Copies of this chain bind each other. A is one copy, B any other.
C-alpha cells in the first residue's frame, strides 16, 4: 500500500467522530494517543544505526529515516503550518526531501533516490521529531475543532508507516550477507502445538454488507458500505503453515506451470523464485528463515509469510487436489466472515521487538486479524458509489486501483488499533516483502 493519504481527500472519506472542543478528557486522551503512537515509531528504530536508517534496499522500500521524517513532515505541515499561527518550519529543505506528495507531480526519479540522502542524519531527524512532537502537544488543546480530525488521520498515517518501517528494515538487513539481527533471537524453543489439518468454517452467504460504516476512522477506499451477494462458501480455520508450504515445494509446486497464473509463471521463471522470500536453504538441504532477529531454522508450525499473490494462488491450485475447489477467498467473503471478530485481537504490533508470525491452534476461525495479511482473490477496485472527492487536488487512494490485489486482516507488524474488517490493504501480485500469507476458501 502506497502512502497516499492527503488531506484534501480525507474529509470526503469516511467519518471521524468529532471531538467536542469542551471535552478535556478527550483532548487529554488524544494527546496520550499521539504520544504513544509517536513513541512507538521511535522505539521501532531504537536499534538502528545512522547507516541502517539511511539505505534504501529497493525501489519499493523507503529508508527508516525517510519514514521517521515523512511522518513528522505530515504533522508539521497539516497541523503546525496550517493551524498554528506563526509556526516556522524546522528546516526549509525537509519539505522537499520528505514530502511524498510532490513526487507524483514532479520528478519521478525522486522515490528510488530516497536512499541517497545521507544528510540530515538519523539524530537530526530524531531532533526534528522531538521538536515537532513538543509543538504538537502544545498545540492540540488550542486547535480549531476542524483540525482535530487531522490528528486522527495523522495517527493512522503514522501507524501505516510503522508497519512499512519494519518490513523495509527487514528487507534491508536481508541484503547483508552477514544476516545481522536487529533484536536478539526470540525464544522459539517451546514445543510447538501440533498443527491440525484444516477445518472449514462456513461463512454467511446471501446478502451482507461490507465496507466502512462511517463510525470511527477509515480511509476513503473502504467506503461506501454496500450490500454484496455471496454464494455459500467456507474459509479455512487458519492460514497455511510453513510446513504445508514445504510440501507444496517438495511436490514441485514452483516448477509446474499449470498451477500458476500466466503472469505469475513469467515472474517465477524470470526471478528464479523457488521459495518464499527470506527462506534460505542450507548445505544440508534444511531451510532457514531470515527475520528481524537474524537467521533461524524454519518453524513448520508458523504461518507462511512473505509470499506473493502469485504464490498464494498457485498454492490454492495445488491444494485443490486435496481440497476440491480450493481457492483464495474474495474480499467480501473474508470481510463478512470477520464481522464478528474483534479487530484488535490476535498477534499484532504492541511494542518494538523481533516481530514474526506465530502458530495458531485453529479449529475455529483463528488469526483473522494480525499475524499475516491474507491475500484475497479480489482486485483492488472501487466500491459501488466510490468517488474521488470533487475538487480534490492530486492524490487519493483510488489512483492505485489497477493491477493490485486486496489483502485483509493485518499482520504481526500492524500496530494494534489500526486493523478493522473493512481495511483494504493492496499490493501488486508479485510483491511479497510484507508479512503476507494465505488462507484458503472453497465453495460449499
Contact = CB atoms under 8 A, between A and B. Distances in A.
A178 interface: yes
Which residue among A175, A325, A399 has the maximum number of chain B CB atoms within 10 Å of its CB?
A: A399
A327 to B, nearest CB: 8
Nearest to A394: B258
Contacts of A115: 55, 115
A362 B113 CA distance: 42
Given A178-B97, A227-B229, A384 B51 contact: no
Contact of A176 (B116, B176, B178): B116
Which residue among A54, A226, A382 has the maximum number of chain B CB atoms within 10 Å of its CB?
A: A54
Contact of A57 (B116, B175, B180, B317): B116
Contacts of A93: 177-178
A357 interface: no
Interface stretch (A192-200, A245-253, A261-269): A261-269
A402 interface: yes
A354 interface: no
A207 B49 CA distance: 58
B262 A400 contact: yes
Interface stretch (A118-126, A155-163, A277-285, A336-344): A118-126
A381 B388 contact: no
B119 A178 contact: yes
A174 to B, nearest CB: 9
A5 interface: no
Contacts of A393: 258
A317 B390 CA distance: 10
Nearest to A180: B119
A429 interface: yes
A96 B401 CA distance: 40
Nearest to A173: B118
A97 B207 CA distance: 51
A215 interface: no
A403 interface: yes
B229 A266 contact: no
Which residue among A207, A381, A393, A429 has the maximum number of chain B CB atoms within 10 Å of its CB?
A: A381
A254 to B, nearest CB: 15
A381 B377 contact: yes
A382 B377 contact: yes
Interface string A294-330: 0000000000000001100100010010001101001
A349 interface: no
The 3 closest A-B pairs by CB, nearest first: A379-B379, A116-B175, A51-B54
9 contacts: A51-B122, A55-B118, A116-B175, A118-B180, A119-B178, A261-B402, A265-B399, A379-B379, A379-B381
